[in-house]
Amino acid sequence: MIWIIMETDEKCIIAIDPGREKCGVAVLTVNRRTLVQKTVSAGKLAAVLKALEIRYQITVFALGSGTTGKMTKKMLEEEFPSMKVVVVDEYRTTDEARKRYWQENPPKGLLRFIPSGMLVPPVPVDDFAAVVIGEKYLTHMKNL
């Protein structure tokens, strides 16, 4: 679990990788800089998002289309009625998240001889998936 907090005056988005038990959350600037990256329990998602919305200039929620996406979208629209929610296709985000995990946490010992695509990270990578979802949104965004 990574919890990076950086200050910025830039406009930001919150990217969410929704799940039944845990969700990935990331705050990215419109220039694609990751300010916050965290995996949280699904029950605490709304509280975490409220805290992040207060701290950063959030313009949109980029929500992954996967598991519990529809339910999470409904919660976002109820809890944050003035915030725009955009659903982003999650296709292959978990694969990319695993790849990024191993880039940031290179395997050690004998594991370094095994191709990273064959390794399973020892921790959830929902936070990395949220970053990938946010980057996908920023790549295809029209206006913030």
Q: Is 66:40 a contact under the CB 8 Å cutoff?
A: no
pLDDT tier for residue 3 given thresholds of 50, 70 and 90? low
Q: How many angstroms from the chain centroid is the CA of residue 112?
A: 27
Quick one: tokens of 131?
Answer: 């970053």
What is the pLDDT averaged over residues 22-33?
96
**How big is the chain, counted in residues?**
144
Residue 142: pLDDT above 70?
no
| Residue (of 46, 69, 50, 52) closest to 12 by Cα position | 52
Helix (H) or strand (E) holding 58: strand 57-64
Pairing type for strands 11-17 and 22-29 reads: antiparallel
144 vs 85, which has greater pLDDT?
Answer: 85
Query: Cα separation of 48 and 60, whole Å?
Result: 15
- Per-residue model confidence as pLDDT tens digits over 74-132: 999 999 999 999 999 999 999 999 999 999 999 999 999 998 888 999 999 999 999 99
Q: Which amino acid is at 91?
A: Y
Residue boundaries of the structural domains of the chain: 11-140
What pLDDT, on the 0 to 100 scale, is given for residue 2? Answer: 47
- Per-residue model confidence as pLDDT tens digits over 39-89: 999 999 999 999 999 999 999 999 999 889 999 999 999 999 999 999 999
CA 64, 61, 142, 100 torsion: positive or negative? negative
What pLDDT, on the 0 to 100 scale, is given for residue 80? Answer: 97
Homologous superfamily of 11-140 = YqgF/RNase H-like domain (3.30.420.140)
Q: pTM above 0.95?
A: no
Pairing type for strands 34-41 and 22-29 reads: antiparallel
